[in-house]
Structure 1
Amino acid sequence: MRKVIMWDMVSVDGFFEAPGHDISWFVFEDELAGYIDETQREGDTLLFGRVTYEMMASYWPEAEGDIATYMNGAEKYVFSRSLTRADWHNTTLVAGDAVAEVERLKALDGGSIFIFGSADFAAVLVEKGLVDEYRLGINPVLLGSGVPLFKPVPKRTTLKLTHTRALKSGVVILHYQPQPDV
């Protein structure tokens, strides 16, 4: 079974967007680009909510480089009840049951499935136990306000730290796996 990996940059105080959907605050440099290049190869499918999809689709089709090649070539699913079309190459629009569709995708052959951003959509998958790994790039900044990455959950989830990587920029990358209830 394929695994779903939630990968996001986040401030020390837990925000993945500053007010106004601003993501210009996070540190992006060569060492982070290298990490992304190393790890994205395991995934071949991307999941987005509408807001993140629209932001990504407005940027990546015209971008260049290894990350752009990956983003534009990967199979993409956007989960939205309001979009009527999704024109970014290799994108499928899903208006129905997100949980059932993600369960179906996990059962297919292929690489890992990444969720970038999309906190509202991801919250549904977190609540249903469909996220197999959390990868967080903790940025050395306190935003004070913005959009929190994690929404309230109905129960506590214990996480096991499986990987750490400190970058020269001060970003610390953490990988966690949810642990079964005991």
Structure 2
Amino acid sequence: MRKVIMWDMVSVDGFFEAPGHDISWFVFEDELAAYIGETQLEADTLLFGRVTYEMMASYWPEAEGDIATFINGVEKYVFSRSLKSTDWHNTTLVTGDAVAEVEHLKALGGGTIFIFGSADFAAGLVEKGLVDEYRLGINPVLLGGGVPLFKSLPTRTTLKLTHTRPLKSGVVILHYQPQPDV
């Protein structure tokens, strides 16, 4: 069964967007680019909610470099009830049951599935236990407000730390796996 990994940059106080959908506070530098280059090799599918999809689709098709080559070439799914079509290469629009579709994708052969951003979409998958790993890039900033990465979780989830990678920029990458309640 394929793994679903939720990978996001987040502030120390738990926000992945500052007010106004601002993500300019992300620390992006060579070490982070190298980490992304190493880990993207395991993925062959990306999942997005509508808002993140629209942001990504407005930037990446014209971008250049290794990350752009990966993102533009990989299979992408956007989950939305309001979009009518997509025009980004290798993108499938899913308007129906997101949980059922992700369960189906996990059962197919292939590489790892990544979720970027998309907190509202991801919340439904977290609630149903479909996220196998959380990768968080903790940025050395307190935003004081914005969009929290984890919204209104219905229950507590215990996580096991499986990997840490501090970067010179002050970003710390953490990998967590959800643990069954005992």
Bin of the TM-score, shorter chain as denominator length = over 0.9
Gaps (5+ residues) in structure 1? none
- Structure-2 residue corresponding to 1:158: 158
> Equivalences for 1:10-89 in 2 at 5 Å?
10-89=10-89
- Structure-2 residue corresponding to 1:128: 128
Equivalences, count = 182
Q: Could you tell me which amino acid in structure 1 is paired with residue 43 of structure 2?
A: G
Q: Secondary structure at the match of 1:155?
A: coil
Q: Normalized against structure 1, the TM-score is what?
A: 0.99
Q: Could you tell me which amino acid in structure 2 is paired with residue 130 of structure 1?
A: L
Q: Distance in 2 between matches of 1:42 and 1:132?
A: 14
Q: Could you tell me which amino acid in structure 2 is paired with residue 19 of structure 1?
A: P
Superposed displacement of residue 153, structure 1: 1.2
Q: Distance in 1 between matches of 2:159 and 2:101?
A: 25
Superposed displacement of residue 136, structure 1: 0.1
Q: Distance in 2 between matches of 1:140 and 1:157?
A: 24
Q: Distance in 2 between matches of 1:123 and 1:86?
A: 23
Superposed displacement of residue 181, structure 1: 1.5
Q: Normalized against structure 2, the TM-score is what?
A: 0.99
- Structure-2 residue corresponding to 1:145: 145
Runs of 4+ more than 2 Å apart: none
Superposed displacement of residue 152, structure 1: 1.2
Gaps (5+ residues) in structure 2? none
- Structure-2 residue corresponding to 1:5: 5
Q: Could you tell me which amino acid in structure 1 is paired with residue 73 of structure 2?
A: G
Superposed displacement of residue 67, structure 1: 0.1
Q: Could you tell me which amino acid in structure 2 is paired with residue 146 of structure 1?
A: G
